[in-house]
Amino acid sequence: MDTDSLHRTPLYTLHLEHGGRMVPFAGYAMPVQYAPGIMAEHRHVRAQAGLFDVSHMGQVRLRARSGVVEDAALALERLVPADIVALRPGRQRYTQFTNPAGGILDDLMVIREADSLLLVINAACKAADIAHLRAHLADSCSIEPLDTHALLALQGPMAEQALATLAPAVQDMAFMDVQTLTLAGVACVVSRSGYTGEDGFEISIPATHAQALARTLLALPYVWPIGLGARDSLRLEAGLCLYGADIDETTTPVEAALEWS
């Protein structure tokens, strides 16, 4: 399949080296599977650990123009049905952008940093979400897309063991904790979270260092590269909503059984 016209993540050549079958997804050339196949990849993540390239997703930093992070949290609460002000530094929360009728424009993660909020948004909604933020919050916040960063997800029961070879501090992180850690000599924002139903981590890293980190993790015999096919089957098995399939602008958080969020 011709993917020359599509965006490429920093791991594109690594996917090809590992035999990734590339397909169009949200404007990017992404691996749907590797040689073992979707079922084998799915089972490997459930038993050991898998590395996912999720660099097509959007990362946006939100800073209050006042310099007070609580003001950024208050501003974001105008757009999401969640308590962002109460979010402690070093923690993150799942929520949704909603329209005036309560329909879901996108679902996202919100990370509370020391002086800002870091949002992780879906690839297909990236441009619309950033426009939505600018339309409603530009008066009170600066909105900075982190286009220079990649995002990796390390998932599975052996994910902690794998990442602890680079940063032992991950062993002390609880679910939804976030820390800035040095991995392979590079400062990364690491959250203990993911979208597979397994234990694991998501790693925001400068794009120029993403491939080196991925190679280091994939050198561990129990870490496999995992494609979009298994990512979808894993989240489906875990009962996690996928934007555009299970939720959209016609679905409210309550109708999607997301009232817990």
Q: 242 and 229 in contact (C-beta within 8 Å)?
A: no
What one-character-per-residue DSSP string does 38-57 give? HHHHHHHHHHSEEEEE-TTS
Q: Phi and psi at residue 124, in whole multiples of 5°? A: -70, -20
pLDDT of residue 70 exceeding 60: yes
Residue 1 has pLDDT above 60, yes or no: no
Chain-centroid distance of CA 131 in Å reads: 19
Indicate if the pLDDT at residue 2 is higher than 70: no
At 3 the pLDDT is 66
To the nearest whole number, what is the mean pLDDT of the chain?
Answer: 96
Q: Which two tokens stand for residue 39?
A: 């079922």
Predicted pLDDT of residue 4: 75
Q: Is the pLDDT of residue 14 over 90?
A: yes
| Residue whose C-alpha is closest to residue 45's, from 229, 214, 164, 223 | 223
Q: What is the DSSP letter of 35?
A: T
Sheet of 200-206: strands edge to edge? 178-183, 186-191, 200-206, 149-155, 49-53, 223-226
| Burial state string for 89-118 with b = 16 or more CB within 10 A and e = fewer than 16 | ebebbbbbbbeeeebbbbbbbbbbbeebbb
Over residues 163-175, the mean pLDDT reads 98
Rg of the Cα atoms in the chain: 18
Model confidence at 13, pLDDT cuts 50, 70, 90, reads very high
Q: What is the DSSP string of 79-122?
A: TSSS--TTPPTTBEEEEEEE-TTS-EEEEEEEEE-SSSEEEEE-
Tell me the whole-structure pTM to 2 decimals.
0.95
Q: What are the E-state strand segments in the chain?
A: 21-25, 28-33, 49-53, 58-64, 92-98, 104-112, 117-121, 141-145, 149-155, 178-183, 186-191, 200-206, 223-226
- Residue 99, φ and ψ in degrees, nearest 5: -90, 175
Q: What is the mean pLDDT of residues 80-94?
A: 97
Q: Model confidence over 204-220: pLDDT tens digits?
A: 999 999 999 999 999 99
Tokens of 35: 């040689």
* 261 C-beta neighbours (distance < 10 Å), count: 14
- 42 pLDDT band, cuts 50/70/90, is very high
3-state secondary structure of 149: strand
pLDDT in tens, 103-151: 999 999 999 999 999 999 999 999 999 999 999 999 999 999 999 999 9
Please write the tens of the pLDDT for every residue from 15-29: 999 999 999 999 999
